[in-house]
Amino acid sequence: MPLRVATWNVNSVRLRLPLVQKLIGEAKIDILCLQETKAQQTDFPFDGLKALGFEHIHAQGQKSYNGTAILSRIPFTPGDQTRWCDKDDCRHTIAVLGDGTEIHNFYVPAGGDIPDPALNVKFAHKLRFLDEMRDWFAARSNPNNKMIVVGDLNIAPLEEDVWSHKALLKVVSHTPIEVEKFGEVQRSHRFIDAMRKFVPPTDKLYTWWSYRAADWDAADKGRRLDHVWVTGALEDRLKGMEVLRAARGWAQPSDHVPVVVTLK
């Protein structure tokens, strides 16, 4: 049976619960990983999501900011919470499926506007977070590990992951230091870019369009900030990938769109 795993920075799970319902109705998702849920445990809509068929939920959140959650139709065991950068800001959620496959759902810090860690503590936080991710996965590296890493990683690494490589070289999310550290994380466990397995790196590929554009679709100044990686042990199970661009045009949309990967 195919397994359909989706990742989406929902930008408030309570506000966009109707869009979550629309998504799962149209895309027939088995496991949905959400970022920026913006809901502490007492406010998280567990009942509403369980009513949509996701009986197994592992959510970590805080009021108004951050938050990650894994929703599944399939039973799983929640993984231990990791404290990144000495902060309890709910940026990583783990689910372990019955066959041992680990799903890691991340929300990497955005990094603010100034790409200089000496001048911008948010950017310094982002770079430290990436360093810790690299070291954390490197310490667990094993060719037999079955891992799926998804989430809003807040970096567009390739030239064709942004609308203009030249224009964005000094813009947070596409700066050389971020791209370098992104690559270090990816190489730390030899992760395979599942999205680029189906879309050549010479083709444009976006998952985010700014709210600031008067007509996001016409301007098409996007970036690929959302990612899906798998370990080599799962590569031959990859069967398809979809970026649900149409979701950016839904009523009250997130500025990110869902990405769905199908595995055998």
**Each residue's pLDDT tens digit in the chain (264 positions)?**
899 999 999 999 999 999 999 999 999 999 999 999 999 999 999 999 999 999 999 999 999 999 999 999 999 999 988 899 999 999 999 999 999 999 999 999 999 999 999 999 999 999 999 999 999 999 999 999 999 999 999 999 999 999 999 999 999 999 999 999 999 999 999 999 999 999 999 999 999 999 999 999 999 999 999 999 999 999 999 999 999 999 999 999 999 999 999 999
Query: What confidence tens digit (pLDDT) does each residue in 217-232 have?
Result: 999 999 999 999 999 9
Domain 3-263 CATH assignment equals 3.40.50.970 = no
- pLDDT of res. 203: 98
CA 237-242-246 angle, 5° bins: 165
pTM of this structure = 0.97
**Two tokens at 147?**
């891992």
DSSP class of residue 256? B
Q: pLDDT of 89-107, one tens digit each?
A: 999 999 999 999 999 999 9
- Give me Rg for the CA atoms of the chain: 17
Could you tell me the residue ranges of all domains in the chain?
3-263
Q: Bridge partners of 209?
A: 222
